[in-house]
Chains A and B, each alone.
Chain A
Amino acid sequence: MNEMTTIAKTTTLKDWESDQEVRWCPGCGDYAILKAVQRTMPETGTPPEKTVFISGIGCSSRFPYYMETYGFHTIHGRAPAFATGLKLANPELDIWIVTGDGDGLSIGGNHTMHLIRRNLDCQIMLFNNEIYGLTKGQYSPTSRVGTNSPSTPYGSVDRPAQPCAFALGSGARFVARGFDVSKELPNVLKAAHAHKGAAFVEIFQNCIVYNKDVFQDFAAPKGAEDRQLWLVNGEPMLFAKGTKGIALDNEALTLKVVDVVDGDWKAAGVIVHDVTNRSVAHMLVEMRFGEFPMALGVLYDDPRPTFEADVVRQNQAAREGKTADLQGLLKKGQTWTVKEGGPEL
């Protein structure tokens, strides 16, 4: 939200903890995300009273109760719409939207799309656990094909949505990825906060009750270097301790994994990450894990004017030179005066 200038830390992590007892299941990934957010907040430079957390419905949406800020736990899927009204009413507020895969992509997919399209200045944290937790384990729009759940006892048949591809396709100017227990998560959130406009962050979150360890194949610490590609602006896209990288297949116009010999990534054709390159961003969000490592960090970041700034500008322009004379407005148009003797123009 703010420009990345030197920010004097006037608060500590403790200042951002509310007095409410946290009620997620023991071991839930949400605890780690909450801590990461509370760790990030002192570094944003925004005071707690100017900060608002807005959520929809679901496990993730309990989040605002645990933050010592203003907070609004709204209705299922609609947090982006509340955020839009609030930001237009007071553009100075720093708004964080907390949503999940069901809340933000299923029932609220429409609002997520339009908030991103309009480019409202806010941070959207989508906790993706690939399951409906609060309703006891039904498959969600991000669940993989074949997910067994109470509502899909023979396995789900529909293909999952890809949150980052959805965001970019909706016109997002900032797309990032992290996961609950990652040490890098505060940095990803800081970058999202520094972006002026709608900043979309997909956070893989482990639901230990209904969808345990579905992200372990890339999130597990052991062998993480081989399975995680942390993107850094201006740096080559390297992983596996620099022995592998991502290059462009010029024939197929796709990405490919290449071996890097003796650290000579240039020779291997490894791409240097440019966060403003939208074409590459489209390939990164579509990059399939397995064949490729999981792309994490800031995938795309290229700001443009925000919705609320444009609305304020237009409102001001329309007001220029006009006075709010309501009595005059009531009399506007063709009027006539009735005197004792009858009407006249």
Chain B
Amino acid sequence: MATAVEDLADKRQSPLSDAVVVRFAGDSGDGMQLTGGQFTLSTALAGNDLATFPDFPAEIRAPQGTLFGVSAFQINFGSSEITTAGDAPDVLVAMNPAALKTNVPSLKPGGLIIADSGEFNDRNLAKAKCESNPLEDGSLAKWQLLKLNISQLTMDAVKPFGLGNKEALRCKNMWTLGLALWMFDRDRAPLIEWLKAKFAKAPELAEANIAALNAGHAYGETAELAGPLKQHHVAPAPVAPGLYRTLTGAEGIALGLVAGAQLAKLPMFFGGYPITPASAILHHLSRLKEYDVTTFQAEDEIAAICAAIGASYGGSLGVTSSSGPGIALKGEAMGLAIMTELPLVIVNSQRGGPSTGLPTKTEQSDLYQAVYGRNGDAPMPVIAARSPGDAFECAIEACRIATQYMTPVMLLTDGYIANAAEPWAVPDLTAYEAFPVEFLTEVPEGGFKPYSRDEKLARPWVKPGTPGLLHRIGGIEKEVDTGHLNYNPENHQAMTNLRKAKVDGIRIPDQIVELGAEGGNLAVVGWGSTFGPIHQAVRRKRAEGHDVSHIHIRHIWPLPGNLGELLRSYDKVIVPEMNTGQLKTVLRDQYLVDAKPLNKVSGQPFRIAEIEAAIEEALG
């Protein structure tokens, strides 16, 4: 591994490699997500590749100082390709005892702790259930420890602006960010501009925050000669030239849906109901009305999907979005969309389950629900996004399948993708092939049959309001072609077969191998947000000379046509999933391959090392 990190302070061996993982941890009210977000932007502007992992509690404002109220933001950045938020932090910024206690176990041995000693008072130590002060009792000996009274230093820095104690302390995160920017040799200018814009209506707050930021930065400069604090420069990553921005999964989904509706030449109707972590998609889309988007916050999850189906019936592209519990409520309506063969996109931002489960944590445990979770034989296409940027592509693909095949489509993402940010090469929209919808507007030759089919087995889409094509649809079994109510045994068999054949026949690309050879010793097969850790683990093992390949499935249902043959071309197949083995079961069922599970359901993403270990074990 090439060492691209230059230690600017001196030429001593840097403890850091070409990739650095920094974790900011503090109380829910300390602004750690905002600090992380701004640090991410500065990292992107410095040309590093990066991945982030916001990790926050379900409580909006948990009692201050408590262990369950800790909010953290982890970023991994480097001078080569980054695909995960990093296994273990190199640097931990801990704003109080609870943040230190909950996050320090994952810090790399020899890693750096920057702790706000001003918050390590008896009261906060008690709240964090610390019997003694970890900053003083030697329990942190295996790490480097930098104790700074950030609270006091911030108060001193913002004193000239006459803020109250509480408001002054709110600038702590900017002081910390200033120090972090110095540590990694970053430009403060974009952040100062951002603060000025953010506090345009309260210039004294902008000035105070800028002063705190500058003070943190200056502290780094003056203190660098003593102790563990050093400046590091991480060289830009060799990324393809082009225009970049940061993108979260929720943004990727929202923008992809808008693009998909435009490529279908349809207005979009989005029905949603507030739920974590899916609400962000509703928030984004509700600001995009000029793109022919109508958003509707319904009275419940059921009404949200039913309104979306109603809009699709009317000729819009109906979209609804939720997370596991909400998706469960929408199940009956999905069946109706399947029966009436209307286009619909259902986005599921998966979270820890069952029931309310872990609303703010990530999991991939809704695959069964997506593929099988409806009454009756109710086949429905399922697509899974692997990253924020991929969510954009998958959303377009979902719109294409829904409108071309007259079917509901489920798009799976998860809490990790929804909240995490990555640099995104802004795509050129002219490169996407449009799939304009053609409504039936006149009686075709041979008469109008609402359930007649084209070569894709899709039925015609007729907008109410069209003269001459009046008809009725509903959830009762339809007669082949005419769509009249029909309970005959032969007809139900025929319609069931037709619905299955239509979904089975959806044209999707063949499965490719992401990394490694087609066929060989071992395939690691993943789907969704496990892409990053699987990819890194396979890359490392291949670099060590092992015969291992990475396959990542986007089309969960129907599965790619060549997948069975591809899987059988490996001696062994392991399937890492953040569930108890759902894709594994589907693969075994579909292809009779001896796929072995690697499961993690802790609400946290896989670490690269965990997958590396599984590869080693499989290879024997």
A residues adjacent to B (C-beta < 8 A) = 18, 20, 47-50, 52, 54, 57, 64-65, 67-76, 78, 80-90, 92-93, 110-111, 113-114, 311, 314-315, 318-319, 322-324, 326-327, 329-340, 342-343, 345
| Contact of A75 (CB < 8 Å), options: B246, B333, B484 | B333
* A337 closest partner in B (C-beta): B243
Would A111 and B299 count as touching, CB distance under 8 A?
A: yes
Q: List 24 A-B contacts (CB under 8 A).
A: A49-B464, A64-B472, A69-B470, A70-B472, A71-B471, A73-B472, A74-B309, A81-B302, A84-B298, A84-B310, A86-B313, A86-B314, A89-B316, A90-B314, A90-B465, A111-B306, A114-B303, A324-B262, A324-B290, A326-B255, A329-B258, A330-B429, A334-B246, A343-B47
Interface presence of B227 (CB below 8 A): no
Interface presence of B70 (CB below 8 A): no
CB-CB < 8 A to B255: which residues of A? 326, 329-330
CB-CB < 8 A to B382: which residues of A? none
A91 CB to nearest B CB, Å: 10
Interface presence of B308 (CB below 8 A): yes
Given the contacts A84-B296, A335-B244, A323 and B290 also touching, CB distance less than 8 Å: yes
Would B243 and A334 count as touching, CB distance under 8 A?
A: no
Q: Mark B421-433, 1 if CB is under 8 A from A, else 0.
A: 0000011110000
CB-CB < 8 A to B336: which residues of A? 74-75
Would B485 and A65 count as touching, CB distance under 8 A?
A: yes
| Contact of A92 (CB < 8 Å), options: B245, B307, B465 | B465
* A57 closest partner in B (C-beta): B475
A236 CB to nearest B CB, Å: 40
Docked complex Cα distance between A87 and B485 (Å)? 26
Docked complex Cα distance between A22 and B312 (Å)? 28
Docked complex Cα distance between A339 and B475 (Å)? 56
Would A85 and B269 count as touching, CB distance under 8 A?
A: yes
| Contact of B243 (CB < 8 Å), options: A75, A81, A89, A331 | A331
Would B47 and A331 count as touching, CB distance under 8 A?
A: no
Docked complex Cα distance between A113 and B300 (Å)? 12
CB-CB < 8 A to A318: which residues of B? 289-290
* A50 closest partner in B (C-beta): B465
CB-CB < 8 A to A75: which residues of B? 306, 332-333, 336, 475
| Contact of B47 (CB < 8 Å), options: A93, A323, A342 | A342
Q: Mark B260-302, 1 if CB is under 8 A from A, else 0.
A: 0010000101010000000000000000111110101011101
CB-CB < 8 A to B466: which residues of A? 49
Q: Mark B307-328, 1 if CB is under 8 A from A, else 0.
A: 1111111111010000000000
Interface presence of B162 (CB below 8 A): no
Question: Which one of B259, B306, B309, B311 has the greatest number of beta carbons of chain A within 10 Å?
Answer: B306
* A334 closest partner in B (C-beta): B41
Would B471 and A70 count as touching, CB distance under 8 A?
A: yes
* B462 closest partner in A (C-beta): A70
Would A90 and B463 count as touching, CB distance under 8 A?
A: yes
Docked complex Cα distance between A48 and B466 (Å)? 10
Given the contacts A18-B472, A49-B464, A335-B426, A78 and B245 also touching, CB distance less than 8 Å: no
B residues adjacent to A (C-beta < 8 A) = 41, 44-47, 190, 194, 236, 239-246, 255, 258-259, 262, 267, 269, 271, 288-292, 294, 296, 298-300, 302-304, 306-316, 318, 332-333, 336, 340, 426-429, 463-476, 484-485
CB-CB < 8 A to A329: which residues of B? 255, 258, 288, 291
Given the contacts A72-B472, A329-B255, A337-B243, A85 and B311 also touching, CB distance less than 8 Å: yes
Would A324 and B292 count as touching, CB distance under 8 A?
A: yes
Would A73 and B474 count as touching, CB distance under 8 A?
A: yes
Docked complex Cα distance between A252 and B243 (Å)? 75
| Contact of A331 (CB < 8 Å), options: B239, B291, B426 | B426
Would B239 and A338 count as touching, CB distance under 8 A?
A: yes
Would A336 and B244 count as touching, CB distance under 8 A?
A: yes
* A327 closest partner in B (C-beta): B429
- A64-B472, A330-B255, A330-B429 are known; give 6 further A-B pairs, CB within 8 A: A72-B340, A85-B309, A89-B314, A335-B244, A336-B44, A343-B46
B188 CB to nearest A CB, Å: 13
Would A49 and B290 count as touching, CB distance under 8 A?
A: no
Would A72 and B473 count as touching, CB distance under 8 A?
A: yes
Docked complex Cα distance between A60 and B580 (Å)? 45
Question: Which one of A68, A78, A92 has the greatest number of beta carbons of chain B within 10 Å?
Answer: A78
Docked complex Cα distance between A56 and B166 (Å)? 55
Docked complex Cα distance between A340 and B236 (Å)? 11
Would A84 and B303 count as touching, CB distance under 8 A?
A: yes
Question: Which one of A89, A330, A343 has the greatest number of beta carbons of chain B within 10 Å?
Answer: A89
Docked complex Cα distance between A319 and B316 (Å)? 18
CB-CB < 8 A to A114: which residues of B? 298-299, 303
B9 CB to nearest A CB, Å: 23
CB-CB < 8 A to B340: which residues of A? 72
Given the contacts A82-B306, A82-B313, A326-B291, A89 and B474 also touching, CB distance less than 8 Å: no
Docked complex Cα distance between A319 and B428 (Å)? 24
Would A52 and B290 count as touching, CB distance under 8 A?
A: no
* A70 closest partner in B (C-beta): B464
Given the contacts A74-B336, A81-B307, A339-B241, A345 and B45 also touching, CB distance less than 8 Å: yes
Would B244 and A343 count as touching, CB distance under 8 A?
A: yes
Docked complex Cα distance between A69 and B304 (Å)? 25
CB-CB < 8 A to B465: which residues of A? 49-50, 70, 90, 92-93
CB-CB < 8 A to B41: which residues of A? 334
* B242 closest partner in A (C-beta): A338
Would A345 and B472 count as touching, CB distance under 8 A?
A: no
Docked complex Cα distance between A338 and B244 (Å)? 7
| Contact of A85 (CB < 8 Å), options: B44, B45, B46, B271 | B271
CB-CB < 8 A to A319: which residues of B? 289-290
CB-CB < 8 A to B246: which residues of A? 333-334
CB-CB < 8 A to B463: which residues of A? 90
* B468 closest partner in A (C-beta): A49
* A51 closest partner in B (C-beta): B464
Docked complex Cα distance between A181 and B161 (Å)? 79
Would A71 and B473 count as touching, CB distance under 8 A?
A: yes
Would A78 and B306 count as touching, CB distance under 8 A?
A: yes
Docked complex Cα distance between A311 and B289 (Å)? 11
Would B190 and A345 count as touching, CB distance under 8 A?
A: yes
Would B190 and A334 count as touching, CB distance under 8 A?
A: yes
Docked complex Cα distance between A110 and B427 (Å)? 43
Would A337 and B307 count as touching, CB distance under 8 A?
A: no
Would A338 and B473 count as touching, CB distance under 8 A?
A: no
Would B298 and A326 count as touching, CB distance under 8 A?
A: no
Docked complex Cα distance between A343 and B290 (Å)? 32
CB-CB < 8 A to A70: which residues of B? 464-465, 470-472
Would B245 and A334 count as touching, CB distance under 8 A?
A: yes
* B236 closest partner in A (C-beta): A342
Would A326 and B258 count as touching, CB distance under 8 A?
A: yes
| Contact of A330 (CB < 8 Å), options: B45, B239, B426 | B426
B299 CB to nearest A CB, Å: 4
